[in-house]
Amino acid sequence: MAISFEPSEATKQARAHFHSIAREQLRPISRRYDDQEHDLPTEWVDWYWRNGRGQAPQVDGPSDGFVQVCVQTEELCWGDAGLYLRTPFAGLGGSAVLAAGNSEQKQRFLSVFQGDGHPVWGAMAITEPQAGSDSANIQTTAERDGDDWVLNGTKIFCTGGEGASQIEGGFVVVWATIDRSAGRGGIKAFVVPAGTKGMTLVGLENKLGIRASDTATLRFENCRVPTGNLLGSAEVHKKGANKDAKAKGGGKGFKGAMATFDASRPIVAAMAVGVGRAALDCVLETLDREGATPRYDAPPTEQTALERDVIEMEAELQAARLLTWRAAAMMNQGRPNNLEASMAKAKAGLAVTHITQKAVELLGPGGYSKKLLVEKWMRDAKINDIFEGTQQINQLIVARRILDYPSGMLR
Amino acid sequence: MAISFEPSEATKQARAHFHSIAREQLRPISRRYDDQEHDLPTEWVDWYWRNGRGQAPQVDGPSDGFVQVCVQTEELCWGDAGLYLRTPFAGLGGSAVLAAGNSEQKQRFLSVFQGDGHPVWGAMAITEPQAGSDSANIQTTAERDGDDWVLNGTKIFCTGGEGASQIEGGFVVVWATIDRSAGRGGIKAFVVPAGTKGMTLVGLENKLGIRASDTATLRFENCRVPTGNLLGSAEVHKKGANKDAKAKGGGKGFKGAMATFDASRPIVAAMAVGVGRAALDCVLETLDREGATPRYDAPPTEQTALERDVIEMEAELQAARLLTWRAAAMMNQGRPNNLEASMAKAKAGLAVTHITQKAVELLGPGGYSKKLLVEKWMRDAKINDIFEGTQQINQLIVARRILDYPSGMLR
Amino acid sequence: MINFEPSDEQQLVISTVRQFAEQEIRPLARACDEQAALPAALLAQAQALGLLSNALPEAHGGGGERSALLGALVAEELAWGDLASALGILSPGLLALPVADFGSPEQQAALLPGFSSDHFTSASLALLEPHFGADPFRPRTTAKRTGDGYQLDGAKCLVPWQTGGDAPTPVLVFAVEDGAPQGFLTPRDAPGLRATPSAHMGIQALPTVDLELEGVHVPESARLGDAAGSDLRALITRGRVALAALGTGVARAAFEIARDYAKEREAFGKKIAQKQAIAFKLADMAIEIDGCRLLTWEAAWRLDQTPPAQSGSVLREATLALSQVRRVALEVTDGAVQVLGGHGYIREYLPEMQLRNARGLASFECLALV
Amino acid sequence: MINFEPSDEQQLVISTVRQFAEQEIRPLARACDEQAALPAALLAQAQALGLLSNALPEAHGGGGERSALLGALVAEELAWGDLASALGILSPGLLALPVADFGSPEQQAALLPGFSSDHFTSASLALLEPHFGADPFRPRTTAKRTGDGYQLDGAKCLVPWQTGGDAPTPVLVFAVEDGAPQGFLTPRDAPGLRATPSAHMGIQALPTVDLELEGVHVPESARLGDAAGSDLRALITRGRVALAALGTGVARAAFEIARDYAKEREAFGKKIAQKQAIAFKLADMAIEIDGCRLLTWEAAWRLDQTPPAQSGSVLREATLALSQVRRVALEVTDGAVQVLGGHGYIREYLPEMQLRNARGLASFECLALV
């Protein structure tokens, strides 16, 4: 088929469906859970869990696949990105299980998300106090002891980490090294079920935005999980080891984590687009109401600064959205999208940072006040420039790809 | 005395003087010598040489010192930066002699610039085909042979290199290594008089802008100069050598070249400000003529994009000018200004690139056409982002200074 | 279904034009700029590819496969080779496409067959005006009804003015008639029409003129679309999509040169591409260029979902795409000059020319159409 | 003679305020933001420095050393400590300085002595309005002559509303009388005046209110400057210089935190400051901040060459400075958040607060004066 920008019928229906959820379920409680940081947004969690986990109506016909997922994510985050992140999802932990787990593990850890029980959460724990975006430098250790792996270390910035570590049925996928001398090759992922002894919720971060989301610090002290909770193989491939062997069995360690990011980046970018659109929509609605709808045919010397700002915001947002959809569409075809996913994430994070900051400015003192949600969206938006790989990390990945440099050539 | 932005009387008079030179001598021939690339602008060269080398009227009272030099440079470059660079000056070569030469050398090489003879030029040759801004990596060699130094190598991007190498009385200061194993410590400066055997003018660059200026490639093949033409000492200080010794005698080698740059950067920044102001003045005059004078009290939502652009251009230009003056004022007090000079150069280069590019846009198809000089100023301005240390080099110097890092810590 | 992969047919066109740009346009780009002329042979070769002909109605000898998206794909590739050459090659479309979209049957029959031939037929459109603050949507040039036609008065600038081709075609002049802009097919040798060659910072190889129109008389039949007229908004929309595609091509070309230079050039013992300041700049360029392309594709695709007469309904998307491209093409070409340092500033390398060309995009309207 | 070095006296003021900011303001900044309040003790300590008193006329107990430049130097240092605290500390000037510049002898005698004392006297100015597109130069709030005074009607927002001090001072409300804006000294408890606490993304520690004015009556003597009136343009000019200085301080504070963090933090085996992407960003911040400071100094210095009533003649310079500061303070604080990465996003470090505070600069006018 040819290039097309026409969403499938299923995508259109899903968009409408999630838009109404965003409008009716999320927006009304947005301000409250921004103010009441760390409170569980029970209305949303329960509503979502009870109402088919937000499932969109089934539609026959072709599917946009991952692009549709992006559209859905955009709609929910148009509603509220903080609450979206607090939704009872398997989250990045679930993606890791899907990407690197065997079928028994998928069944064991993920079926609860389709079950009839209470809401559950999954999460992923990678970042450590001294590491930041340097995920190859993981200090948390996993040592084999009989039929168990014993984890020791501290993880920070674990999105969804409270729910995943505290509520029965949930789990945290923890990245730890089983052989520090092996560098990246020694890093493996372990599923730690909620409530496992030795896993402690140390605290939750007070944040600039996405305050409804629980960003946790988790401590692992002699935390034991059975060997069956290791995702992928325990084999360690040292630097310079046979590449074939790496590709076969070892690809589920560090590279597995990275592959999870490739898959998650378009979703994260779509989150960003949703927040940015919320702010832009608010500006456009205000302008319409005030009879100041931007002109696309203004003479160059008569265009207002406001018109130019709005045009730039619209263009930036749409560019971010299309880059996101492109990265998602490549996943539909099973094509590697490491470059395109990083492009989308880098662009979306930056674009919505600008768009939301500009929206606050354009709305004047009102935009700066807490009477509108725009100020909150500006605070929420900034996370997209930071988490799941900062702006700089994504630039780095893009740069390596376009230069065709291995990581050693450009750091 | 307290902080003051009031130029001295001498500076005011010099400004008026050089402004009228710029308007009457340079502007009328601007377009011609842009079109007739590589032609010597004889009207300007002769006028300047005959008319007291442009000397400003003597004024009693306090002097702004180097700040006045910046003001004068700004005025001339407001006239035409390409012609300014073709002015019979001792140039950077002269600055190097002043900074690193002994009194005999100063007399021998510089007196001709005050003399009654024909116009003469000085130039500095550092850059090499494979080195770019990496001036520590100089490949041109100087070998001692009896009472001579014998130079071999090729220099590119030598501003003023045609006049300095071809017209009797002029000279080129050539940076060459006398001991490659010593790295920077082995780099020394040699004065090569115009017409010296073995120095060949290979060619002149065809450039984007400043086309009236002669950017030369010079080849040195067994080019002999007497030992008395070495600036500073022949002693080589190797890496890790005693710092005191370095500070005493060796400071006139590589560090001497760098000091020349510190002194020249505010002047180069002032050149940039002059070109940027030419473009901005043209925009402001056009707006005044069209009854579209920018308002400084426009309500935020009614400000035109044009007004915002002009305000930004004005602010950027003035910020660049003040940073330049600050770096120059520090020289008056003999204070090290490496940080401030690099700040000024970086800011001015970038600011006037933007200002002139914007000016072309704001003037529409007319700004893009060759009927106005704005398109030329845009082409001229870009050199300020590149020569005498690119944007990146200046950022690097600023970064090292603010981080208090030696060069080895940040490259 | 949302899809970003060109079809086989689209891919074939891209590959063909890319090869043409690489082998025929790019090698001549510097010389064309310095000599301020486009070789007739290049235009003839390009015409032989049948890009325009393919888009014209079958009834008049064309292929009947009009597609703005295909036009955008072609424009990007041509401009990757060289912007001035691309504008020259696409210039027949400045008359042919408006006539195809709005022309009366008689106008179509008279003018279109010439553009479907293998010979390059030069053509032009006069929209931009030289006064400060000129508004392309609301020209000041006037068209007044006279007894047997119209009288045109005003001034135009940046009008492509190539010669060559079997017969000189009229220039399509936009003027305001009773408050609404309309196009008038004006013979190049009409009394009262004076063309003065003009020169610009960039696109030097494209011959352009300033036009003065003083009491120029054209017959009633010269009005594009006859009684029905034409829609300038539709043309500007198509012009903006074309410019967006062209600008994307210029930016991509400059980016690639900068990238390759950075991988070759050493400083301080490393390739300069290994410096974050350079590498990240290149990464940003790549991201922005892809964003521009996707915005352009979307606007073009929307045009293809819309009857030509209603093209103006896509003005928003076209404007968004072009506004990004104007910014990005300038930033990328300026950045490429910067990456090349001293070599960026000399006319041995292409980025300085690409910077001059890219700066023009801010002022252009309807210098090409899709 | 052009000189960028502060005099000994200027340097002494800078050092004193810098020390105060470092020792008294900064340590409380986070707690003030979280608790949305400024400790009375902090305001009292700041008052004891005599910054405002020094600028007021000697006739009313002040030091008679009014200097906008000194005001700018002070503002930068205070805001380096914390913007909300700086605004609180400077808020008495919102009434005292306009009264010093424009007040009638009676108004000066009644109001100024209180501000020259060692006690912090809260004061306020109401200029900004809540409607979309509000124009600070042309308020919508109206002042109508009545038999014995004026009737004020309208709405204001972002009005600093501290309490404390010996006696509550009137709020200086700007309203349009016969087409020209004038200031009216309005008692806080005037019937018809309703103050509702407001909350914002940033400057949370500064108490602010929305004001509604419905048929508020003030006597004839409430008009600032009596018959002569006052010049809003002059006040806005002084407000812009103050904001520019404050914004420079915020940016400098965020820059320093980012710089120090980058020198401490390791990634991939190196300090992150050793990465060009970080180092160059820090270099750009430093350059832009210095540019902002110099522009601000120049505007302030020009104010000092101008009689207070003609301050409006410096509007251009003040606007240029503030326009740069608005951009730079936002970019630098956003950049600081970025340099700190995850730590930039949490409320353990100051950059996230500085970003929230800096964003407000775009909407502020006359939240402080020099």
Per residue in C274-319, pLDDT tens?
Answer: 999 999 999 999 999 999 999 999 999 999 999 999 999 999 999 9
Tell whether B330 and B391 lie within a shared domain.
Answer: yes
Give pLDDT, residue D269. 83
Tell whether B189 and B292 lie within a shared domain.
Answer: no
Give pLDDT, residue A246. 43
Torsion C251-C252-C257-C262 (CA) sign: positive
**pLDDT bracket for residue B266 (50, 70, 90):** very high
Report, in angstroms and rounded to the nearest whole number, the Rg of chain C calculated over CA atoms: 20
In terms of residue numbers, what domain contains B374? 257-409
State how many domains chain A has: 3
Q: What percent of chain A shows pLDDT beyond 70?
A: 94
- Exposure class string for A194-211: b at 16+ Cβ within 10 A, else e: bebeebebeebbebbbbb
Whether C208 contacts C333, CB under 8 Å: no
For the segment A282-305, the average pLDDT, to the nearest whole number, is: 96
Q: Which residues of C touch A301 (CB under 8 A)?
A: 132-133
Give pLDDT, residue A89. 94
Which residue among A292, A301, A307 places its CB closest to the CB of B292?
A301
Q: Tell me which chains share at least 3 CB pairs under 8 Å with chain C.
A: A, B, D
In a domain, B1, yes or no: no
Give pLDDT, residue A245. 44
Q: Tell me which chains share at least 3 CB pairs under 8 Å with chain A.
A: B, C, D
pLDDT at residue B183 greater than cutoff 90: no
Tell whether A263 and A227 lie within a shared domain.
Answer: no
Give pLDDT, residue B195. 96
Q: Which residues of C touch A340 (CB under 8 A)?
A: 290
Task: Give the residue among B72, B220, C223, C291 at the shortest CA–CA distance from A316.
Answer: C291
- Exposure class string for B269-285: b at 16+ Cβ within 10 A, else e: bbbbbbbbbbbbebbbe
**Residue A230 vs residues A102, A177, A178, A194, A264: alpha-carbon distances, Å:** 10, 12, 11, 15, 21
Mean residue pLDDT of chain B comes to: 92
| Residue after which a domain boundary falls, among A254, A274, A294 | A254
Q: Nearest-CA distance from A361 to chain B in Å? A: 9
Tell whether A196 and A273 lie within a shared domain.
Answer: no
Give pLDDT, residue C166. 58
Q: Which residues of B touch C352 (CB under 8 A)?
A: 207-208
For the segment D301-319, the average pLDDT, to the nearest whole number, is: 97
Q: Which structure tokens are listed for C306? A: 């819309």
Give pLDDT, residue B245. 44
Task: Give the residue among B132, B216, B154 at the shortest CA–CA distance from C343.
Answer: B132
* Pick among 2.130.10.10, 3.40.1130.10, 1.20.140.10, 3.30.70.260: CATH of C232-362: 1.20.140.10
Query: What residues in chain C have per-residue pLDDT under 50?
Result: none
**pLDDT bracket for residue B134 (50, 70, 90):** low
Q: Hey, which residues does B223 pair with through a beta bridge?
A: B151
pLDDT at residue D286 greater than cutoff 60: yes
pLDDT at residue B50 greater than cutoff 50: yes
Give pLDDT, residue B40. 97
Beta-carbon separation of C277 and D280 below 8 A: yes
Tell whether A62 and A97 lie within a shared domain.
Answer: no
Instruction: Report the alpha-carbon angle A396-A402-A403, nearest 5.
Output: 85
**Rounded (10°) CA dihedral D321, D327, D333, D339:** -120
Beta-carbon separation of B375 and C330 below 8 A: no
Q: Which of residues 168-227 of D touch B (CB under 8 A)?
A: none
| Residue after which a domain boundary falls, among B207, B234, B254 | B254
Tell whether B381 and B266 lie within a shared domain.
Answer: yes
Locate the chain B residue with the closest alpha carbon to D135: B299
Give pLDDT, residue B249. 43
In a domain, A3, yes or no: no
Beta-carbon separation of D341 and A378 below 8 A: no
pLDDT tens, position by position, A64-92: 999 999 999 999 999 999 999 999 999 99
**pLDDT bracket for residue B248 (50, 70, 90):** very low
DSSP states of A388-406: SS-HHHHHHHHHHHHHT--
Least confident of C228-242, D7-21, D150-164: D150-164
**pLDDT bracket for residue B106 (50, 70, 90):** very high
Write the burial class of residue C77 (CB in 10 Å: 0-12 exposed, 13-18 middle, 19+ buried). buried
Tell whether A166 and A230 lie within a shared domain.
Answer: yes
In a domain, B281, yes or no: yes
Whether complex ipTM tops 0.90: yes
Beta-carbon separation of A2 and C6 below 8 A: yes
Which residue among C7, C279, C321 places its CB closest to the CB of A2?
C7
In a domain, B107, yes or no: no
For the segment A154-167, the average pLDDT, to the nearest whole number, is: 96
Beta-carbon separation of C277 and D275 below 8 A: no
Dist CA C68 CA C305 (whole Å) = 10
Query: Do β-strands D180-186 and D171-177 pair in parallel, antiparallel, or remain unpaired?
Result: antiparallel
Q: Which residues of B touch C360 (CB under 8 A)?
A: 368
Q: E strands of D97-169, at which residues?
A: 124-126, 142-146, 149-160
* CATH code, domain carrying B97: 2.40.110.10
Tell whether B291 and B246 lie within a shared domain.
Answer: no
Q: Which structure tokens are listed for A308? A: 């130019």
Residue C14, chain A, CB below 8 Å: the answer is no
**pLDDT bracket for residue B257 (50, 70, 90):** low
DSSP state of D129: -
Mutation target to probe the D interface, by most D beta carbons within 10 A, among A139, A208, A383, A400 is: A208
Dist CA B80 CA B410 (whole Å) = 37
In a domain, A221, yes or no: yes
Q: Which residues of A touch D338 (CB under 8 A)?
A: 385-386, 390-392
H or E stretch including C185?
A: strand C180-186
Beta-carbon separation of C277 and D276 below 8 A: yes
H or E stretch including C263?
A: helix C232-264
Q: E strands of A71-214, at which residues?
A: 122-125, 141-145, 148-159, 171-177, 187-193, 199-204
Tell whether A139 and A179 lie within a shared domain.
Answer: yes
Beta-carbon separation of C1 and A347 below 8 A: no
Give pLDDT, residue D118. 83
Give pLDDT, residue C162. 87
Beta-carbon separation of D301 and B323 below 8 A: no
Reduced to 3 states (helix: H, G, I; strand: E, B; else coil), residue B318 is helix
Give pLDDT, residue B246. 43
**pLDDT bracket for residue A249 (50, 70, 90):** very low
Q: Which structure tokens are listed for D324? A: 């740069």
Active site residue A24: no
Query: Which CATH code for domain C124-228?
Result: 2.40.110.10
For the segment B296-305, the average pLDDT, to the nearest whole number, is: 95
Supply the residues of B annotated as catalytic. Answer: 388
Dist CA D11 CA D33 (whole Å) = 30
DSSP state of A340: H
Mean residue pLDDT of chain A comes to: 92
Tell whether A201 and A316 lie within a shared domain.
Answer: no
Give pLDDT, residue A411. 86
Tell whether B142 and B159 lie within a shared domain.
Answer: yes
Instruction: Tell the residue number behind the tokens 């490659």, with chain if given.
Output: B180
Least confident of A33-42, A116-125, B242-251: B242-251
Dist CA A23 CA A15 (whole Å) = 12
CATH 3.40.50.300 is held by the domain D8-115: no
Task: Give the residue among A214, A223, A195, A189 at the shortest CA–CA distance from A98.
Answer: A189
Dist CA D42 CA D205 (whole Å) = 12
Least confident of A45-49, A171-175, B388-392: B388-392
Instruction: Report the alpha-carbon angle D115-D117-D123, nearest 5.
Output: 25
- Output the pTM of the full model: 0.96
Tell whether A62 and A163 lie within a shared domain.
Answer: no
